[in-house]
Amino acid sequence: MFGRFAQLVGALVRFLHIAGPARWIFDWTIYRPYLAFLRFRIIDDLIRAKDSGQLTSTKDVREFLSLISPTSSMLNPIRVGPLSDGGYVVPKEIFEVKALFSPGVAQSSDFELEFASRGIPCFLADASVERPPVDHHNFRFLKRFIGAKSNGDFISMADWINASGAGSSNLALQMDIEGAEWDVLQVSGWLSSFRFLVIELHDLEKVWFRTDAPRLLSALRNVSKDFECVLTVGNNFGPLVEFGDFAFPKTVEVTYVRRGDSSIGNSIKTDELAGVIAKNNPRLPSVEFKPIRG
């Protein structure tokens, strides 16, 4: 119940952050207290789960965080999209792909437009909107949600790729589907079509719960079979979750590259990222993701 309420409030404030005339006042008077309240409720839920024996092991939490901790770098990192929410840091080689798949249509399509302007077909999907915020002749919009299976308003990634005619290799994915990613990423097969993945992972605090940890771990293990994490950035539209020996953002943006790809560097180079990483909301404090090894 509370999780759904938090998602609705989060979606509202994201919209107002982009479209509102008094964004600075809104962020300071409403959004900051909302973040504090959200953090309090998360910690309260975790304490209750601990008292009732519903927490998973710290071993599971450590493995989860290690699976989204960068193990290599990008040789040529660039930022695609705005210097705020909706922009992502990716290898410049991402523009070599045949097509971009972007499930989850936001208030801005600046990221997708940079591909479309280079002649790269962009496939967008979201049943909650009638169309993307802007038109482009290289946009292909589908009014469906992305799910683990095709059913009703939902279409699976495999079926979407097959129906697109974009081919089955050298594709890029930018996914922001508000928590539905965990079920989608557990499905094997379709990931083999992609060279690059940029995924927003939501509700990371759920890894603490015994009922949710297996699902989240299964998704990340599935991705990590063939992809290497090269960057993880905290999204400051959500709070930092501090519990036990761990502190991590509620939401992160992760860039993956297929293992063995020529765009992967041999070491992690934080200095080269300083000019391309930006806060999702420039008026709110950063929430840092600290990598965990093993």
Look up the CATH number of the domain holding residue 255: 3.40.50
Statement: residue 33 has pLDDT above 70: yes
Q: How does pLDDT run across 52-93, given as a tens digit for each residue?
A: 999 999 999 999 999 999 999 999 999 999 999 999 999 999
Statement: residue 294 has pLDDT above 80: no
* CA–CA separation, 80 and 140 (whole Å): 19
* Composition of the chain by helix, strand, coil, percent to 5: 35, 25, 40
Average pLDDT score over residue span 205-231: 97
In a domain, 14, yes or no: no
In a domain, 67, yes or no: yes
In a domain, 3, yes or no: no
- Kindly report which listed range (73-82, 134-143, 262-271) carries the lowest average pLDDT score: 262-271
Query: Which CB contacts under 8 angstroms, 24+ apart, belong to 105-110?
Result: 105/129, 105/132, 105/133, 105/141, 106/14, 106/133, 106/176, 107/14, 107/15, 107/18, 107/19, 107/133, 108/18, 108/81, 108/82, 108/133, 109/133, 109/134, 109/136, 109/139, 110/81, 110/82, 110/86
Strands 99-103 and 171-175: parallel
Question: Largest Cα–Cα distance of the chain, in whole Å?
Answer: 56
In a domain, 143, yes or no: yes
pLDDT at 18: 47
**Highest mean pLDDT out of 19-33, 91-105, 254-268:** 91-105
Statement: residue 206 has pLDDT above 80: yes
Domains held by the chain: number: 1
In a domain, 1, yes or no: no
pLDDT at 148: 97
Burial class (CB in 10 A: 0-12, 13-18, 19+), 97: buried
N-to-C CA span, the chain: 34
pLDDT at 9: 54
Please name the residue that has the structure tokens 């989850």. 104
- pLDDT bucket at 109, cuts 50 / 70 / 90: very high
* CA–CA separation, 26 and 38 (whole Å): 17
* CA–CA separation, 85 and 103 (whole Å): 16
Q: How does pLDDT run across 7-27, given as a tens digit for each residue?
A: 555 555 555 544 555 565 666
In a domain, 7, yes or no: no
**17, 103, 122, 82: CA torsion to nearest 10:** 20
**Other C-beta atoms within 10 Å of 175: how many?**
20
In a domain, 132, yes or no: yes
Is pTM, for the whole model, over 0.75? yes
- pLDDT bucket at 272, cuts 50 / 70 / 90: confident
Task: Give the residue numbers spanning the domain of 123.
Answer: 55-273
Statement: residue 121 has pLDDT above 90: yes
Q: Is 89 within 8 Å of 282 (Cβ atoms)?
A: no
* CA–CA separation, 112 and 139 (whole Å): 8
Picking from 243, 5, 194, 181, the residue whose alpha carbon sits closest to that of residue 94 is 194
Average pLDDT score over residue span 26-47: 87
In a domain, 27, yes or no: no
pLDDT at 1: 39
